[in-house]
Amino acid sequence: MKTYYSPKHRLRQPKAELHDGQWVPSFESPERMDHILEALKARGLDEPLEPGGYGMDPVLAVHDADYIEFLASVWERWVAKGHQGDAVPNIWPARTLRDIRPQAIEAQLGYYALASDTTLTEGTWQAALAAKDVTLAATEAVLAGDSSAFALCRPPGHHASSSQFGGYCFLNNAVIAAQYARDHGKQRVAVLDVDFHHGNGTQEIFYRRNDVFTTSLHGDPEHAFPFFLGRADETGAGAGEGFNLNLPLPNGTTYRAWADALETALTAIEDFGAELLVVSLGVDTFENDPISLFKLTSDDFSDYGKRLGRLGLPTVFVMEGGYAVAEIGTNTVNVLAGFNAER
């Protein structure tokens, strides 16, 4: 399995994150990638490859043009206005206000944000662009005939919607991959999201479509971020009715129940007739993850990697979350090695 990676992710170095009422080091850190690279090497997986450039068309195929213009220019505008620190959204067109887009950058930050956990920083846009190129390179490898590929990217993507950032995400890498596969010959594509958090952006972008099946196992949004999307009754709309499957699970879920839900998702992917699978690979389901609530062990990641391998589909793995930094490498590589063992 080829791995694609770009050191440009380091250009995103968020200074801090407001957590439990305190500014703490950001959970979504550059060091996450170092630990995964180290584990790939230690376990004898292939050396990472650097991606080429894929331009903006694959991005504009799934994100709104005004949102992309905002992301591309926000840092310069923020600095030009004399602001010193990182840009943090803190006012929204909330339910009791007007749904309008004022010109002030402080207002646009909220207009284009879904949470204040995600700061905009000097190199964020360059890092996000590199992440989508890493993902597109992995997708291209699978479209060219590789059985699978791994996009080792950050920032992650699955919370990014057509027009909003948040949950540490800016461009939805998995969605960009799925759409790219649709535009390059695959008729039916499935996105399986195994990150602890619901992939609200992935759901939103494909919600009205029947050519991309989306399914997500996640902490019940009654108790977990992103709270406002991810319930089981969200099954798609219009032509997309029946093409979104949410499998919310309670706090404290262990592997037995998680693996049952995975089988439900895999069966649905087979019934759909997927020709290519994109896996939003978050490993924050781990028992010691600092911001998540499931209880998977490192061995469980190997087991579900095997189950994914047995599905037999061309598969693009796209890195999402995972914040237990000391174990993120082991858990990620366990999935990939388990998958490889079945191919």
Q: Give the footprint of ligand OKP on this chain (CB under 6 A).
A: 17, 19, 117, 156, 159, 167-168, 195, 197, 225, 282, 284, 291, 320-321
Binding to Zn ion by residue 199, rule CB under 5 A? no
Q: Which residue number, 141 or 177, has a Cβ lying nearer to ligand OKP?
A: 177
Residue nearest Zn ion, CB atom distance = 321
Nearer Cβ to ligand OKP (285/315): 285
Maximum separation of any 2 CA atoms in the chain, in Å: 55
Nearer Cβ to ligand OKP (133/284): 284
How many Cα atoms within 13 Å fall on the side-chain side of residue 33? Answer: 25
Which residue in 158, 159, 197, 218 is the catalytic one? 159
| Binding site partner of 156, from Zn ion, ligand OKP, none, Cβ cut-off 5-8 A by kind | ligand OKP
> What are the C-alpha distances in Å from 207 to residues 176, 201, 210, 211, 214?
15, 10, 8, 10, 8
- Three-class SS of residue 73? helix
Determine, following the binding rule CB under 5 A, whether residue 321 of this chain makes contact with Zn ion: yes
Shortest distance (Å) from residue 123 CB to Zn ion? 22
In whole angstroms, give the CA distance from residue 203 to residue 220.
15
Q: Which does 167 bind (CB under 5 to 8 A by kind): ligand OKP, Zn ion, none?
A: ligand OKP
| Residue bearing tokens 């993507």 | 157
17 vs 327 by CB, closer to ligand OKP: 17
301 binds Zn ion (CB under 5 A): no
For residue 159, indicate whether it is catalytic. yes
**Binding characters for Zn ion, 275-294, by CB under 5 A (x = yes):** -------x-x----------
Q: First CA to last CA across the chain, in angstroms?
A: 10
295: contact with Zn ion by CB under 5 A: no
- The DSSP annotation for 239-299 comes to GGTT-EEEEEE-TT--HHHHHHHHHHHHHHHHHHT-SEEEEEE--TTBTT-TT----B-HH
Are 253 and 271 in contact by the 8 Å Cβ rule? The answer is no
If one asks whether residue 58 binds Zn ion (CB under 5 A), the answer comes out as no
The verdict on 27 binding Zn ion (CB under 5 A) reads: no
* Whole-number Å distance between alpha carbons of 271 and 266: 9
What are the Cα distances from residue 70, in Å, to 10, 65, 107, 160, 170? 21, 9, 12, 14, 11
111: partner contacted, choices ligand OKP, Zn ion, none (Cβ within 5-8 A by kind):
none
Residues classed as catalytic: 159
Residues forming the site for Zn ion (CB under 5 A):
195-197, 282, 284, 321
